[in-house]
Chains A and B, each alone.
Chain A
Amino acid sequence: MMLNSIMYSKWAQYMFIGVSAPGKPKLTSCRSPEKETFTCWWEPGEDGGLPTTYALYYHLENSETVYECPDYKTAGNNSCFFNKNDTSLWVNYNITVVATNALGKNISEPVEVDVAYIVQPNTPENVTAVVVDEDQGPFVRVSWEKPRTADTRSGWITLLYQLRVKQQKDKEWEEYNAGMQKYYNVFSLHPDTEFMVQVRCKPDHGFWSEWTQTTYIKMPDYIPRQRSLWIIITIFSVFIVLILTWTLNVKRNSVKLCLLPPVPGPKIKGFDKQLLKSGKTEEVFNSLVIQGFPPTIDYDDLLVEYLEVYDNEEQELVLDGKDLSEDCIKSKSPSDCDSGRGSCDSRTLLLEKCMVGRKGSGSDQHQYSQHGETSWASTESSECQGLEPGSPESSDGRVKTWPVVFSSPQPHHHYQAETVKPVYHSVPEILNHSSPHIMPTNYHHLHHQDIPQQEGRHGKPACRHSQSYNHFNLDGLNTPAPGVSPSRSLEYVEVQRVNPENMLLLRPLSDPNREPEGSDYAGEDYSKVKEVTSNNILLLRRDTSHHCVDDYSQASQCTTQQPPHPCKPVIYQSNSGMPQEGMRVMGNGYVDSTVLMPSY
């Protein structure tokens, strides 16, 4: 009873304090450094508040004999050291730890251990790192010794070594396997830096040892002297330079051509450099001259070809040679209509016709080139105005100069003073045929008749003059076509002669009655202008049918109108229905074809 109460009281006492049996210990690891001894460590559990003792017990496999740990001290606290005598290889140890305190004990989980497989050697010893200087550059030779306890000599244990290197600042180590040798050469380390080296080892079947203490080694500052490489590079480059020089020398001509391309010489046709060098520039440049360029036109020749046709509505005198289209009927000064002079004057003819009949269109007169103006003279009845009194013919008050239909680009000459031939370029062609003879009477006749009747007509009478020109072969040397039908064919005329008054006397080439006559009977000598074709050819009609040609037709636009009325060769009845532009038809239906000369 008393014992029970004592025990109960004790228990109660412990209960109040809060103690208990120890917790379960746990074997953490067992290790053998040299495969001859081994040590086991355990972890104590809660001690329960009371002093606890631990004991390690083991038994070998297939044996029930339990042994206790022979040595608790050598390996420190909570350890058990098995010495050589107690260590058996290739035998399983069944080890347990028992924790005991006043209140109880606790047994750890058993652990099976085979010593042969728990070998973890000690760290290698005497790690040394030395900088070795060689031609290729310095490197570090790390050497060490085996852990003292490991017996590799007898072959009992085989160790494999490993080392690692890094700089102070690096994060990662660089590891090298050294195998079973106890040294290692580390290459490719940066110069002038300090390195850390560590070594560890492992048995062929076992655990790695701990790393050794860090060994510091400083790499010297060196310049990689790769002498042989530089020598090779130098020789190679010298070789290449020599080859290049030799190649350039061989090909120097092509190189020169490439670098300094030749300046192209002048490439002018006909240009002779030798001549130039000789200094005879005249000859040099003469060879360059192209004969016949620019083409020179004898403008005088062109003058004759100009025709000016007055438009009876318009009063403009187009002296421009190009304006064939303009209506311009030049009328002659009526003052001299009777005399027969001047009116057929080649110089005055057209001009008179142009100027006469112009109603106050003196302003237009200046359109004539100089020629025209000079040749106009105003007559009382003449509408041609502005003729220059300076002309010899104009002394009569008549305009004797051709109207400047020939408003050629060249300044007009005073035709008065000149013969017909040189004045009108086209005329000479006609003149070549025969001596011209102009019947002035018709002109006068016509002229006179024209003027009063055609007050409104300006310059129209000038067209009448054209009858003196049966046909102006403006192109030049057209051969007359004899026997041309009067209605539609071209009839060529020839100038019979030029009278002293510079009047052309024309007659049709096909006229059998070719004779110079001063008869003013225009019947045989004159032909009517039927029309003016587009190429400024006057189509003349034989005066057989007594058909009047159109009255008025412009130089280039002379429209063909029917000759409505029978034409008397003398009297122009005019107005009877022919009021239009174009050629001024004389009374008998003849057209002053002078105005039909095309202008250039």
Chain B
Amino acid sequence: FGLSLPAVAVLLVALLCLDPHGRVGSAPICAHGPSGCHIPSLADLFDRVIQHSARMHSLSNDLHSEFEQYFLPSKNHIGKIYRKCHTSNILTPNGKDNAQKLAREELTEVILKLLMAWRDPLFQLHQSMAHQQDFNSFSSNKALEMGDMAHELRKGVEKVAEKMRVLGMLGNSVTGLSAAEAMLPLSDSGEAMSDYELLYCFRRDSNKVQNYLKILKCRIVPEHDC
């Protein structure tokens, strides 16, 4: 019998300590306050969110490059007629000065609006890529992951906003949060956008998000990275 004496003793103790009437339940990890576990700071939250957005943007960049390489040989973008991105309605700062002029609440709101606006179109994009034979499974998986990331990022930014609000950094004028609504990726003409157009638009928007988050972070928690 291979068990040694200490192992047997441990087993006995464990058996004795088992509460036959105990219920198994779940408890929040940090239920007992800061002493219980480590609560991430705002800086940590921002770092996580920024990393997330960077990852998302790289995915969109890859997908767009693949699309452009295999399906659109023209590299000079001649003949490309871009319809407006469905998110062009959202006013976004197009320069550093403009971005810095925005209040942090507005900036946060813009981020959230953007992310929210892309929730459904990304899902559609994945759907259409998966169904088409042209795309390999790897690209459709990327699209799927990208959609999930956008979702996660939105959640994260919401948490950051929540945190900031808690910390008193954000004012009450966060109307953007409630007003964020899903938008249908419809162009002006009402036609659905093609996959390429979606990818093109999303690449841009993810870059915006990343940039805005960085500005926000360096404005709120200026640390070594800024």
Question: A residues touching B (Cβ–Cβ < 8 Å)?
Answer: 35-36, 61-62, 84, 87-92, 109-112, 114, 116, 151-156, 158, 180, 204-205
Instruction: Decide: A205 and B207 in contact? CB cutoff 8 A.
Output: yes
Question: Which of B77, B96, B100 is in CB contact (< 8 Å) with A35?
Answer: B96
A84 to B98, CA, bound (A): 11
Q: Which residues of B contact A112 (CB under 8 A)?
A: 76-77, 80
A155 to B211, CA, bound (A): 8
Query: 14 A–B contact pairs at CB < 8 A?
Result: A62-B88, A84-B95, A88-B94, A90-B208, A109-B78, A110-B78, A111-B76, A152-B226, A153-B226, A155-B217, A156-B99, A158-B214, A180-B225, A204-B54
- Scoring B54, B95, B208, B215 by chain A CB atoms within 10 A of each residue's CB, the highest score goes to B95
Q: A62-B82, A110-B78, A154-B96 are in contact. Are A205 and B61 (CB under 8 A)?
A: yes
Residue on B nearest A151 in the bound complex, by CB: B96
B140 CB-CB contact with A under 8 Å:
no
B165 CB-CB contact with A under 8 Å:
no
Instruction: Decide: A156 and B94 in contact? CB cutoff 8 A.
Output: no
A89 to B78, CA, bound (A): 20
Q: A88-B95, A90-B207 are in contact. Are A154 and B218 (CB under 8 A)?
A: yes
Q: Which residues of B contact A152 (CB under 8 A)?
A: 226
Question: Which of A90, A114, A155, A158 is in CB contact (< 8 Å) with B92?
Answer: A90
A92 to B77, CA, bound (A): 11
Interface residues on B, range: 20 to 34
Task: Name the interface residues of B71-92: CB closer than 8 Å to any CB of A.
Answer: 76-78, 80, 82, 84, 88, 92
B80 to chain A, nearest CB (A): 7
Which 4 pairs of residues, A with B, have the shortest CB-CB distance? A155-B218, A155-B214, A112-B77, A88-B94
Interface string of B93-118 (1 = CB under 8 A from A): 01111011000000000000000000
Q: Which residues of A contact B78 (CB under 8 A)?
A: 109-110
Q: Which residues of B contact A180 (CB under 8 A)?
A: 225
A116 to B96, CA, bound (A): 11
Instruction: Decide: A205 and B215 in contact? CB cutoff 8 A.
Output: no
B154 CB-CB contact with A under 8 Å:
no
B131 CB-CB contact with A under 8 Å:
no
Instruction: Decide: A92 and B82 in contact? CB cutoff 8 A.
Output: yes
Q: Which residues of A contact B222 (CB under 8 A)?
A: 153
Q: A109-B78, A112-B77, A112-B80 are in contact. Are A156 and B207 (CB under 8 A)?
A: no
Instruction: Decide: A87 and B226 in contact? CB cutoff 8 A.
Output: no
Residue on B nearest A153 in the bound complex, by CB: B226
B150 to chain A, nearest CB (A): 17
A207 to chain B, nearest CB (A): 14
Q: A90-B204, A114-B204 are in contact. Are A61 and B82 (CB under 8 A)?
A: yes
In terms of DSSP, what is the predominant structure of the interface of chain B? Answer: helix
Q: Which residues of B contact A158 (CB under 8 A)?
A: 214, 225
Q: Which residues of A contact B204 (CB under 8 A)?
A: 90, 114, 116
B126 CB-CB contact with A under 8 Å:
no
A528 to chain B, nearest CB (A): 109
B119 CB-CB contact with A under 8 Å:
no
Q: Which residues of B contact A62 (CB under 8 A)?
A: 82, 84, 88
A95 to B94, CA, bound (A): 19
Q: Which residues of B contact A151 (CB under 8 A)?
A: 96
B138 to chain A, nearest CB (A): 22
Q: Which residues of A contact B216 (CB under 8 A)?
A: 155
Q: A84-B95, A88-B95, A151-B96 are in contact. Are A109 and B226 (CB under 8 A)?
A: no
A110 to B76, CA, bound (A): 8
Q: Which residues of A contact B92 (CB under 8 A)?
A: 90
Instruction: Decide: A154 and B215 in contact? CB cutoff 8 A.
Output: yes
A311 to B208, CA, bound (A): 145
Q: Which residues of B contact A153 (CB under 8 A)?
A: 218, 222, 226
Q: Which residues of B contact A154 (CB under 8 A)?
A: 96, 100, 215, 218-219, 226
B78 to chain A, nearest CB (A): 7
Residue on B nearest A91 in the bound complex, by CB: B94
Q: Which residues of A contact B208 (CB under 8 A)?
A: 90
A62 to chain B, nearest CB (A): 6
Instruction: Decide: B217 and A116 in contact? CB cutoff 8 A.
Output: no
Residue on A nearest B213 in the bound complex, by CB: A155
Q: Which residues of A contact B94 (CB under 8 A)?
A: 88-91
Q: A90-B207, A109-B78 are in contact. Are A156 and B84 (CB under 8 A)?
A: no
A92 to B94, CA, bound (A): 12
Q: Which residues of B contact A111 (CB under 8 A)?
A: 76
Q: A35-B96, A36-B95 are in contact. Are A116 and B214 (CB under 8 A)?
A: no
B176 to chain A, nearest CB (A): 19
Residue on B nearest A152 in the bound complex, by CB: B226
B103 to chain A, nearest CB (A): 15
B202 to chain A, nearest CB (A): 12
A151 to chain B, nearest CB (A): 7
Q: Which residues of A contact B215 (CB under 8 A)?
A: 154-156
A89 to B215, CA, bound (A): 15
Q: Which residues of B contact A156 (CB under 8 A)?
A: 96, 99, 211, 214-215
Q: A110-B78, A155-B226, A180-B225 are in contact. Are A36 and B96 (CB under 8 A)?
A: yes
- Scoring B57, B78, B94, B211 by chain A CB atoms within 10 A of each residue's CB, the highest score goes to B211
Interface string of B160-189 (1 = CB under 8 A from A): 000000000000000000000000000000
B169 to chain A, nearest CB (A): 16
Instruction: Decide: B76 and A87 in contact? CB cutoff 8 A.
Output: no
Instruction: Decide: A84 and B97 in contact? CB cutoff 8 A.
Output: yes
A116 to B82, CA, bound (A): 18
A206 to chain B, nearest CB (A): 11
A401 to B64, CA, bound (A): 144
Q: Which residues of B contact A35 (CB under 8 A)?
A: 96
Residue on A nearest B215 in the bound complex, by CB: A155
A158 to B88, CA, bound (A): 25
Q: Which residues of A contact B225 (CB under 8 A)?
A: 155, 158, 180
A88 to B218, CA, bound (A): 22
- Not counting A112-B76, A153-B222, A180-B225, a sample of 5 additional A-B residue pairs whose C-beta atoms are within 8 angstroms of each other reads A90-B92, A110-B78, A155-B217, A155-B226, A158-B225
Q: Which residues of A contact B96 (CB under 8 A)?
A: 35-36, 151, 154, 156
A36 to B95, CA, bound (A): 7
B66 to chain A, nearest CB (A): 16
Residue on B nearest A94 in the bound complex, by CB: B77
